[in-house]
Amino acid sequence: MARTRTTDVLIAGAGPVGLSAAAELRRHGLRCRLVDRLPARLPYAKAVGVQPRTLEIWDRMGLARAAMERAVPMLGQLTYVNGRERARIDLELPPEVPYGFAALPQYETERLLEEYVAGLGTVIERETELLSFAQDRDGVTARLRTAAEPRRSCGPAI
């Protein structure tokens, strides 16, 4: 049986981008529904780099300290081809930039953000996949599939 739920924003994907979007939207008072087709957070890192601007935003959210305690500074990048160094890039920033580049495994980034959004009342609906959506003048209707049953979610367009 299909269920209907109204929300301000539906976010499909609970990776770093989706979780960051949910965190910022919730922080500013919007209701979010966060769905992800995976049953759990992946146990390996697909990405590790965290930009200084991201750390500034996390600072406003109160997450920067926790992230920096688990991260290591990224000072540059070395590129090797067939065992020989081919390029070296130093990651230097102007002194007025409050944070540098950091390396933090994606699963750790997701864990921090997931805890943050849960504290704001948003939990990830796991094994829930966005199949399609359609917009009309009243909002957006999304078709979702869960492990249990397909369902619909409605909300205004943003």
Whether the pLDDT of residue 158 is over 90: the answer is no
Residue 4's domain is classified under what CATH number? 3.50.50.60
If asked whether residues 65 and 99 sit together in one domain, one would say yes
What's the whole-model pTM score?
Answer: 0.84
Show which of 88, 104, 120 is a domain's final residue: 104
If asked whether residues 97 and 61 sit together in one domain, one would say yes
pLDDT at residue 2, as a whole number: 58
If asked whether residues 142 and 123 sit together in one domain, one would say yes
Show which of 87, 104, 121 is a domain's final residue: 104
Show which of 104, 120, 142 is a domain's final residue: 104
Tokens of 157: 């367009």
pLDDT per position as a tens digit, 89-120 = 999 999 999 999 999 999 999 999 999 999 99
If asked whether residues 59 and 26 sit together in one domain, one would say no
If asked whether residues 98 and 113 sit together in one domain, one would say no
The identity of residue 14, as a single letter, is A
If asked whether residues 39 and 117 sit together in one domain, one would say yes
pLDDT per position as a tens digit, 1-54 = 456 677 899 999 999 999 999 999 999 999 999 999 999 999 998 899 999 999
**Residue 76: domain span:** 49-104
Task: Tell me the CA distances in angstroms from 30 to 6, 109, 111, 120, one per residue in order.
Answer: 12, 22, 21, 11
R_g of the chain, CA atoms, integer Å:
19
Residue 98 makes CB contacts below 8 A (sequence gap 6+) with: 52, 55, 56, 59
If asked whether residues 99 and 53 sit together in one domain, one would say yes
If asked whether residues 54 and 98 sit together in one domain, one would say yes
If asked whether residues 111 and 82 sit together in one domain, one would say no
If asked whether residues 76 and 112 sit together in one domain, one would say no
If asked whether residues 12 and 86 sit together in one domain, one would say no
Mean of pLDDT values over 114-130: 96
If asked whether residues 121 and 95 sit together in one domain, one would say no
The count of domains in the chain is: 2
pLDDT at residue 152, as a whole number: 54
State how far the Cα of 69 lies from the Cα of 54, in Å rounded to an integer: 15
